[in-house]
Amino acid sequence: MSIVVGYLSTREGEAALAAAVAEALRRETRLVVVLSRRAQGEDHAALEAEADAVRDRLDLADVAYEVRQLRRGTDVAEDLITAAEEEDAELIVIGLRRRSPVGKLILGSNAQRILLDAPCPVLAVKADPEPAR
């Protein structure tokens, strides 16, 4: 069994990764980090650098892990659900964006699909608020 986490290099992605690492250590299980790419023209070198930075962080955290770079699709939710099914995951971790009062009426479509269609429990975390400027 493992924990699957969706990661983008955003504050929400960082919060999800930190929570997933903590859960993997607590549960003594492997972490599968899914870096799902939506844009077709993204720079390959930049993607590799991002994956390497995630690997470095996970090496320091002393957690068993796998980093998957998925360039195939435009559906982040499907990428995470598929990874969770393939891994027989015990948990999916996702980061949520803060929303405006109107935006709070609906959850993001990817987050909603993951919450509704995941084959296992989902931990949704928010990033710490940005410091005042």
pLDDT score, position 41 = 60
pLDDT score, position 104 = 47
Tell me the DSSP string of 92-127.
Answer: EEEEE----TTGGGS--HHHHHHHHH-SS-EEEEEP
- Domains, in order of start, for the chain: 2-126 (3.40.50.620)
Question: DSSP 3-state assignment of 14?
Answer: helix
Question: DSSP 3-state assignment of 91?
Answer: strand
How many C-beta atoms surround the C-beta of residue 86 within 10 A? 12
d(CA 14, CA 116): 23
d(CA 88, CA 125): 21
| pLDDT, tens only, 83-95 | 999 999 999 999 9
d(CA 41, CA 53): 21
Q: pTM value? A: 0.86
Q: One digit per residue, pLDDT tens: the chain, 133 residues? A: 899 999 988 899 999 999 999 999 999 999 999 997 655 566 677 788 889 999 999 999 999 999 998 765 568 889 999 999 999 999 999 998 776 555 544 556 788 899 999 999 999 999 887 766 6
pLDDT score, position 117 = 94
Strands (E) across 2-117 are located at: 2-6, 30-36, 65-70, 91-96
